[in-house]
Chains A and B, each alone.
Chain A
Amino acid sequence: MRLRLIPDDTTLQIIPLRRHAMIGSVVAIVASAVLYVAIGLNFGIDFRGGILIEVRIPEVPQVTEVRGAFEGAGLGEVAIQEFGEETDFLVRIERQPGGDEAQQAAVETARSHLAAAFGDVVEYRRVEFVGPTVSQDLLRGGAIAVLLAVVAMLLYIMFRFEMAFAWGAVVALVHDVILTIGVFSITGLEFNVATVAALLLIVGYSMNDTVVVYDRVRENLRKYKKTSLDLVLNRSINETLSRTVNTTVTTIMALGALILLGGPVVQDFSFAMIWGITVGTYSSIFLAAPLLLTFGVRRGAETPGPKAEGERAA
């Protein structure tokens, strides 16, 4: 017996739900924006500058003991967090006032305080510091990269489809990016370079999903020239639904394995991806396709692509 998450020949009425979906999405976007303004993103050291040290201390100290080691160090805010094993701690030290040199000096101070408290047994698993120059570069670079990716997608869809499709796809993309930023604001998960990488992948994935639906819309527009646009859209969504769901399931399986087994370093990245892919799947079904009604697709003017030849050959 085969596993069928979506039965054959489904005729879910998705297009009639579009108003609900749009209201829901607008609410979610506004909520994300409010959360972003009210809470803000928990920038990691990549974007804020500062110091991150992961230590392994075999004698299993309490978090408070580790925190105590930094008393009187004059390093400003020091956050200690258990990380993975009970012997492992993540020490985050805020960016030191002063220039790039000050960060370097603070790393040495932190090391000497840890050595004073726990002796030579402290194992440094990771030492990272990012000075103000680089953190600004990274933040700007990350923002540019996300914008660039969205613009590149817009251009690609313009090139492959017509304008209405490009706008529909980009609205869906921006929706996914904003909602992901919203969820990072509310959960307080660290937002770092890896998160931006995840955002770019979400952009790619969401686009991927949208393109598959659009491709079918284009094909059906040619096939059913007399059918009204909303019926064509509904049909296209239903025809591709099984594929959309199966691909989302396999991708989330892979990401689930990463989140559970991939170790603490890739956890936040995997979480961002799972969220983004879920949102991206939703947006390609409930936003990208129905938006074609809003942006208005020209009928009967499609250029005959390779598809026409394909049909002849079959």
Chain B
Amino acid sequence: MIHVPRWQIAVAVIAVVFAVVYSAPNFLPSSVSWLPGDPVRLGLDLQGGSHLLLRVDSDVVLEERLESVLDEIRTRYRAAGIGYTDIGVRQLTGGLTLTDPAQGEQAQELAEEADETLEIDVESSGRMTFRLDSAAEKELRISALSQSQEVIRRRIDETGTNEPTIQRQGDDRILVQLPGVDDPERIKRLLGQTAKMNFRMVDETASIPEALAGRVPPGSELLYEDDGSEQGVPIVVRRRVGVSGDNLVGAAPVIDQNNQPVVSLRFDAAGARRFGDLTTENVGRRFAIVLDGRVISAPVIREPIPGGSGQISGNFTFETASDLALLLRAGALPAPLVILEERTVGPSLGRDSIAAGTLAGQVALLLVIIYMVAVYGLFGVAADIALAVNIALLLGILSALGATLTLPGIAGIALTIGMAVDANVLIFERIREETRRGRSPVSAIDTGYRQALRAIIDANVTTLIAALVLFQMGSGPIRGFAVTLAVGVFTTMFCSLIISRLLVLAWLSRTRPQVLKV
């Protein structure tokens, strides 16, 4: 008789109990809550939701940094009496031309002092170029990425989305997954603004027609003020920032005394002081509230505002006021975001997919069960029981791992059903062969399981390789598929080699057949 080690029986029993307990929540109504496990988590394509892949345009951050470095260099050169022309930042490189090329060495030294992370190149013609060195560049990009991630999280949390996933991907990407969101338009709108806000004085000495003709006074710039139209009203605003949005600690939409929606603001201590000073010094003048390079409104300061709170009125509806308040509370993004990819699935399609996938899986299971009994008789029954345990175990493991089941994942389960019996087919065919060669039932079965083992392992390793490659290349749904497939390989090996074998051996020791009919 074939000896079966006790531990194999123990492992098989434990596995079956685990499979039943942990897969059960997938079949039972959610009211049955005393079971330890949860149903397997569904991917966005099944439960509905939105997947957004964003790119952080961190070039903007690098350019801002270079601009501020150039400002510093300007100050130093002015002090040292170095003349230059044609200063500016283009394609992540700052540049200027020295009026006197002989001053090159001194100019380089001063620039190095201004920022030690600069790579400076001076040509004999007097043309100087500045780049940030790669370490500094990388640091800026990474910090832009992690700041963006944080701001995105705060903005999305404010909208009350359940369990959003916000992950960094690679050097400049952020993956946002929003389960249950079937209309991501509002969130996309919220993410589409950097929401950099500041308060600056309006340059009332400048003439608008002159500015429109391209002659803007130095230290000021031409912006447009929102009036509900696409273009807005031109207005000249000083570049110097009076109070920055970074100093905000609170923002909320409120209805003012004129029954108009406005956004009320609260500053931190430093912001409150600056705002107080600004409004005290400039009573009777206009200041501009600038958001992402556009003037929301430019009211006249009627009296000093010392308390650290203020109000922005503008062309708001209550909804736009709420969104602006949300953006201000969550803080500004360091750089603009570009949506590279969107995949949104509505709840109805998700439900249909689950229904169709489940039905297909059940029919596949039924067909395979019937076929196995038709071909292998009682042995087929053993394989079918092993298959049932296999599917339960697969679902149980996926649930326990917290893996995500996607639509391709359901296809993967259906496919596993078809391929799972392969190991048993290999074994049973081998037993048939050995029986035909005249071996006794016990010997044929023992040899069958032994001889088929190597082919089974080789065959399953190839599937596992395919699953690993899939996991590597895949995103979202494909990854879910790869995980399902890989877990399926292990459960399949276990069920065909242990469960079905124990069943066959149990039958063998009870009936002790003289002739084997496989």
Contact = CB atoms under 8 A, between A and B. Distances in A.
A141 B426 contact: no
A194 B340 CA distance: 19
A245 B485 CA distance: 22
Contacts of B418: 250-255
A298 interface: no
A117 interface: no
Contact of B470 (A128, A160, A200, A254): A200
A42 interface: no
B465 A250 contact: no
Given A200-B469, A314-B447, A253 B421 contact: no
A211 B348 contact: no
Contacts of B375: 2-5, 246
A142 B371 contact: no
Contacts of A196: 473
B481 A197 contact: yes
A56 B348 contact: yes
B230 to A, nearest CB: 15
A38 interface: no
B339 A100 contact: yes
B108 interface: no
Given A247-B421, A266-B407, A215 B415 contact: no
Contacts of B474: 193, 197
B466 A124 contact: no
Given A128-B342, A262-B411, A307-B451, A204 B462 contact: yes
A270 to B, nearest CB: 7
Contacts of B485: 201
Contact of A261 (B188, B359, B432): B359
A313 B346 CA distance: 59
Given A208-B462, A208-B463, A104 B348 contact: no
Contact of B342 (A127, A243, A314): A127
Contact of A128 (B343, B377, B462): B343
Given A2-B375, A254-B418, A148 B340 contact: no
Contacts of B466: 149, 200-201, 203-204, 207
A234 B485 CA distance: 33
Contacts of B109: none
B360 A262 contact: yes
A215 B454 contact: yes
Contacts of A204: 462-463, 465-467
Contact of A160 (B55, B458, B463): B458
What interface size band does chain B fall in? 35 or more
Contact of B425 (A100, A123, A243): A243
A104 B436 contact: no
B364 A254 contact: yes
A185 B421 CA distance: 33
A169 B348 CA distance: 44
B256 to A, nearest CB: 32
Contacts of B459: 208, 211-212
A156 interface: yes
A124 B345 CA distance: 8
B349 A211 contact: no
A216 B455 contact: yes
Interface residues of A, number: 84
A133 interface: yes
B345 A253 contact: no
A22 interface: no
Contacts of B454: 215, 305-307
Interface in A268-314: 269-270, 273, 305-307, 310, 313-314
B436 A254 contact: no
Interface string B312-344: 000000000000000000000000001111111
B367 interface: yes
A298 to B, nearest CB: 20
A297 B23 CA distance: 48
B411 A266 contact: yes
B246 interface: no
Contact of B473 (A141, A201, A251): A141
16 contacts: A127-B343, A130-B340, A133-B55, A145-B472, A145-B473, A153-B465, A156-B462, A239-B433, A246-B371, A247-B422, A250-B417, A253-B371, A253-B418, A255-B418, A269-B408, A310-B451
Given A152-B465, A266-B411, 4 more contacts: A2-B375, A254-B415, A257-B360, A270-B411
Interface of B: 53, 55, 182-183, 185, 188, 338-346, 348-349, 352-353, 356-357, 359-361, 363-364, 367-368, 371-372, 374-377, 407-408, 410-411, 414-415, 417-419, 421-422, 425-426, 429, 432-433, 436, 443, 446-447, 450-451, 453-455, 458-463, 465-470, 472-474, 478, 481, 485, 517
Interface of A: 2-5, 8-9, 54, 56, 84, 99-101, 103-104, 107-108, 123-131, 133-134, 141-142, 144-145, 148-149, 152-153, 156, 160, 193-194, 196-197, 200-201, 203-205, 207-208, 211-212, 215-216, 219, 239-240, 242-243, 246-247, 249-258, 260-263, 265-266, 269-270, 273, 305-307, 310, 313-314
